[in-house]
Structure 1
Amino acid sequence: MAVDPAVTIILVLVYVAITLVLGYLGYKKTIHAEDYLLAGRDSHPVIIALSYGATFISTSAIVGFGGVAANLGMGLIWLTVFNIGVGILLAFVLFGKKTREKGAETGAITFPDLMGKIFNTPKLQFISGIIILLGMPLYTAAVLIGGARFLETTLSISYTTALIGFAVIVALYVIYGGLIAVMYTDAFQGAIMLIGMTILLVLTYIYVGGVTAGHKALAAMSDLVPETLAGQGMTGWASMPELGSPIWFTLITTLVLGVGIGVLAQPQLVVRFMTARENRALNRAVLVGGPFILMMTGVAFTVGALTNVYFYQHMGKIAIDAAGGNVDSVIPLYINTAMPDLFVIIFMLTLLSAAMSTLSSLYHTMGTALVCDLWGRGQKCAMSLRANQIGCIVMMILSVVLALAMPASIIARATAMFMGLCASAFLPAFAVGVYSKRPSRAGAMASMISGAFIWFFYTVFIHTAEAKALGISQFLTGSVTILGAPWTVIDPLVIALPISLIVMVSFQVRERSVGVKSQV
């Protein structure tokens, strides 16, 4: 990086200092267990919206998915539409209010605790906690890797030092300040992300000759699509792939549906609804959350696609070729090649904010799941502040160990996987639970278990992207996948979620009909 290292280090230290000060303020306001776990149920609408958005958007959205847009084109903008329509409007208005009401009514403090109390069975709390502890550490490790690799390159320090230092700084304010500190720092980091992405969009359009000229140039590059991508259905960076082609299935089922729907049942996001004092706070949060998500994902996907224009005009190559075939390197290469020196630092802080805001919420969610929902189940969930702090430390250490053992190129994939798992396991039971007056306990258990099991089975044995990397299907059956096309490119969510929903609804209808007959 061409920026003066001294300036970089000073700005990073200022950023870290502000983050720790906000964490300290959260610590000072954390008196009771409910403060630690739910921010006292009295968060400001702007804090809720920025915390929700910053937690939702990690390095995967900016770097990982931005690189995917550079490779597959503007079709990824449909994910922005889903993020706003489903992840903000539907989530806050349809699910957010009911979640807040159920949380206040039952006294639930975590997502698994909410599920257990809605369905009046500790088993659901336990099952939900297990699923979180199985799936979330991998996602957390991937986010850790993204932040650490960026710090390693930018600050010229070893990867291990960057990883441990990054993990410890986030852990400090999460462990001592709880959810109040997490939400305060999320809001600050969200503001930095908003500034950084706004500048990125403006400068990009300047570099490609303006909005109209840039998009016309992108559309005119369709004949430069690599043969490997064209053979899988890609038609250009400014158009959708051929309907039913492998790339179309990947784009729609894994990226758009997997992330767009999966956001509705992410435990670390659902808890944000329970921090609101009243429903009006959630209505107001939508006014901030919608534009924030638009700027985060919309800008990342637009800029990602337009990097093809920039690199072709300046290097005679499309983006993926300029980055040496590495999708995750496109956005960092573009920033370091095209942007002014000062913005390189701003963007570094933007990525740092994206990673830290997501990471802090994951730490908090995993720690409380371990202590409240597994170890302390049935003891009003929150046994003590100290116990929950220890839970966060344990899960932080586990995540660091996983991050040291895992490769660095899994951020975007891990995001889609985790969100798909959450939707398949939690969404049907969660939706029925917050809306039904008599939700089916057996249905929730069957739906949750079947959704998680089918998702894992499909991931391991059928979906090529994961099955090939894991190698379990190859080892057990002698084949990378047990089914052929098109099943190998259809995301596990598309199969597991409908089955989970059918199971939930079937039990709900059957129990309701039995109840009606008994009354007659």
Structure 2
Amino acid sequence: MDSTLLYAMAILYLGATVYLGYLGYRHTRSAKDYMIAGGNIHPFLMAMAYGSTFISTSAIVGFGGAAGVYGLSLLWLTVCTILVGVFIAFMFYGVKTRKMAHSLGVHSFPEFLGARFQSPFIRRFSAVVISISMPLYAAAVMIGGARYMEQALAMNYQTALLIFAVIVMAYVFFGGLRGVIYNDALQSSIMFFGMVTLLILTYKQLGGITVAHEKLHSMVDLVPAALAEKGHMGWASMPQFGSEIWWFVMSTLVLGVGIGVLAQPQLAVRYMTVSSSKEIYRAMGVGGVFILFMTGTAFTVGALSNVYFYETTSQIALSATAAGGAAPNVDRIIPLFITEAMPPWVMIVFLLSLLAAAMSTLSGQFHLIATSLAYDLIASRRGRGEKTLQWARMGTIMAFVVTLLLALQLPTSIIAIATALFFGLCASAFLPMYTAALYWSGVTRIGAASSMVAATITYLFLVLFIHEKEAAIFGLSELLFGVTTLASEPWTYIDPLVISLPVSTFILILVSLLTKETDSTIQTGPAVIRAFQQESMIHKKE
């Protein structure tokens, strides 16, 4: 790698990052500025911020590496993220969320839920869930970027982690959401260019689109016996229906992330940053194209990396990561492919792309943890004083420390699992309640709270004691009962979301119907809905 070119591009990139963070700082004068960027962001900036916050190193490195193991079946996640994560999210959740949030005068996702249901408990409990679980997702993102820096620059892993965290913390600490969104526009532009370049050069390296996919299809006999026994039918084919790998790909990776995106607190806040519903509709097309190239490229390149490694080393991608006696590591497939197969200048561009992807997502995550701690837990009890910004910036430091410690402790091949886990928890705990908040005036405060608490407990129990991949990582079941999991197949590999989301929905409906006559939300709920509907009519007339 040309060190002179690397340092020049890195200085320009970091200089632009610092400058945009400074711009955010200059325009951050109130809690509203810090929380939702003043509520007047341009739709293009909103779409790019949404996309770059959603797509991170966990998607590019973690899920790209998973595609290197499980193949092109992960492209179903691309379909799901565009259909659900952009079009359904923007049209059916984004527009109503923005209108209702403006009507209620709220600035965060927990505050939105708490105000809609007139419940301080819902606000604080959701803030606790976010504050405790988000660092796991943030750690996965941080690991993805650090792994590439480690591979490309021969850098110490711990040093790479520290560099990532310090840079991101700096501009979130000072700039709030304005600084985050300004930087996201820059980061997403770099990411888009880098991923398009990677896709074109990958096909060129492998002989063209048709030839590359024919080669991948012909490698079916090279699938390791251990994977074939679990349903792997080749990198160009879907896993065997109902097999262990099919359940992991479809329920954990595709469904967990594809559905979980609807209830991502850091993404829901993005809807509140624009001034009208028209801006959300305008942002939809930009967001769809961006996510198509980000996820589609990562998953395609991940699967096709098997062709490259087999032609150059006579090994499949996962085996290639074990060179030199190291343990196979899914999270090293994409970094290794880039450094081995791409020209040096592409390595630099992709390094900046991963830096951009990691920092755009981490900034949104740190911002959300900070506001959940400082605004929804502390400030909600003390009122919205001038100290809100100070508490939020203290929360950023806490998020930084916890995330960094987690990233240092998590095992290898963890990025995709940790990401899906967070998305699944958010979908279980928040999605039924969030949907009802927008569309069902009959939902009660007790019904919403019961659904959220029951879903959280159910999901965590399944993760710690039933679902084998996570249960083995956390080790609590082994510690208490002497076994990795308390269940038997197929429950050990069916994702917890498949169980916890229906449980959450059922409890929401049942308890709301049973408490309809006693819960005071029966009075406040329709009032909120009426105010929301009145504002909607005003916007239509305008």
TM-score (norm 2): 0.92
The answer to which of 499-508 and 148-157 deviates more is 148-157
2:348 aligned with 1:350, yes or no? no
The 3-state SS of whatever aligns with 2:492 is: helix
Contact residue 62 and residue 300 of structure 1 kept, 8 A = yes
Equivalent positions of 1:71-150 (< 5 A) are 71-150=69-148
Distance 2:159 2:472 in 1: 31
Distance 1:374 1:245 in 2: 43
Q: 1:159 to 1:204 in 2, by over 3 A?
A: closer
Contact residue 140 and residue 415 of structure 2 kept, 8 A = yes
Residue matched to 2:432:
428
Q: For residues 39-78 of structure 1, what are the alpha-carbon distances to aligned partners after superposition, in whole Å with 9 as ceiling and x for unaligned?
A: 0001111111111111111111111111111111111100
Deviation at 1:244, TM superposition (A): 0.5
Distance 1:252 1:392 in 2: 34
The answer to which of 475-484 and 415-424 deviates more is 475-484
2:407 aligned with 1:414, yes or no? no
Deviation at 1:379, TM superposition (A): 4.4
Deviation at 1:27, TM superposition (A): 1.0
Deviation at 1:205, TM superposition (A): 1.1
Deviation at 1:199, TM superposition (A): 0.6
Contact residue 331 and residue 414 of structure 2 kept, 8 A = no
The answer to which of 10-19 and 114-123 deviates more is 10-19
Distance 1:409 1:323 in 2: 11
Distance 2:154 2:253 in 1: 33
Distance 1:157 1:337 in 2: 16
Distance 2:154 2:226 in 1: 36
State the AA in 1 paired with 2:194. Answer: G
Distance 1:283 1:465 in 2: 39
Residue matched to 1:367:
370
Distance 2:198 2:293 in 1: 10
Q: For residues 385-434 of structure 1, what are the alpha-carbon distances to aligned partners after superposition, in whole Å with 9 as ceiling and x for unaligned?
A: 22211221222222223333333532111100100111011110011012
Distance 1:168 1:194 in 2: 24
Contact residue 113 and residue 381 of structure 1 kept, 8 A = no
Contact residue 373 and residue 381 of structure 1 kept, 8 A = no
State the AA in 1 paired with 2:441. Answer: K
Give the root-mean-square deviation of aligned CA atoms: 1.8
Deviation at 1:291, TM superposition (A): 0.6
Residue matched to 2:530:
none
2:498 aligned with 1:494, yes or no? yes
Residue matched to 2:531:
none
Equivalent positions of 1:316-355 (< 5 A) are 316-324=314-322, 325-355=328-358
The 3-state SS of whatever aligns with 2:242 is: coil
The answer to which of 126-135 and 401-410 deviates more is 401-410
Distance 1:159 1:242 in 2: 37
Contact residue 5 and residue 155 of structure 1 kept, 8 A = no
Q: For residues 472-509 of structure 1, what are the alpha-carbon distances to aligned partners after superposition, in whole Å with 9 as ceiling and x for unaligned?
A: 11222222111100000001111111100111122233
State the AA in 1 paired with 2:377. Answer: L
Distance 2:384 2:412 in 1: 35
Contact residue 122 and residue 378 of structure 1 kept, 8 A = no
Q: For residues 346-395 of structure 1, what are the alpha-carbon distances to aligned partners after superposition, in whole Å with 9 as ceiling and x for unaligned?
A: 01111111111110001100000001111111445565322211221222
2:285 aligned with 1:308, yes or no? no
Distance 2:14 2:41 in 1: 23
Identity rate, percent: 48
Select which of 469, 473, 478 maps to 2:477: 473
2:213 aligned with 1:209, yes or no? no
Distance 2:55 2:504 in 1: 26
2:53 aligned with 1:50, yes or no? no
Contact residue 152 and residue 339 of structure 2 kept, 8 A = no
Residue matched to 2:64:
66
The 3-state SS of whatever aligns with 1:488 is: coil
Residue matched to 2:245:
247
The 3-state SS of whatever aligns with 2:380 is: coil
Deviation at 1:512, TM superposition (A): 4.8
State the AA in 1 paired with 2:54. Answer: F
Distance 2:399 2:171 in 1: 15
The answer to which of 13-22 and 506-515 deviates more is 506-515
The answer to which of 123-132 and 394-403 deviates more is 394-403
State the AA in 2 paired with 1:401. Answer: L
Q: 1:409 to 1:316 in 2, by over 3 A?
A: closer
* Residue segments in structure 2 that go unaligned for 5+ positions in a row: 323-327, 524-542
Contact residue 462 and residue 482 of structure 1 kept, 8 A = yes
The answer to which of 394-403 and 454-463 deviates more is 394-403
Q: For residues 70-124 of structure 1, what are the alpha-carbon distances to aligned partners after superposition, in whole Å with 9 as ceiling and x for unaligned?
A: 1111111000011001110111110001110111011111110001000001110
Distance 2:444 2:18 in 1: 44
Residue matched to 1:391:
395
Q: For residues 306-353 of structure 1, what are the alpha-carbon distances to aligned partners after superposition, in whole Å with 9 as ceiling and x for unaligned?
A: 112222223322222222232112111111111111001001111111
Q: 1:37 to 1:295 in 2, by over 3 A?
A: same
Count, aligned residues = 515
TM-score (norm 1): 0.96
Residue matched to 1:440:
444
State the AA in 1 paired with 2:236. Answer: A
Contact residue 9 and residue 155 of structure 1 kept, 8 A = no
State the AA in 2 paired with 1:200. Answer: L
Q: For residues 260-299 of structure 1, what are the alpha-carbon distances to aligned partners after superposition, in whole Å with 9 as ceiling and x for unaligned?
A: 0111111111100111110011101111000100000011
Deviation at 1:438, TM superposition (A): 4.4
The 3-state SS of whatever aligns with 1:486 is: coil
Deviation at 1:10, TM superposition (A): 2.1
Distance 2:483 2:305 in 1: 38
Deviation at 1:513, TM superposition (A): 7.8
Q: 1:221 to 1:149 in 2, by over 3 A?
A: closer
State the AA in 1 paired with 2:44. Answer: V
Residue matched to 1:459:
463
Residue matched to 2:13:
15
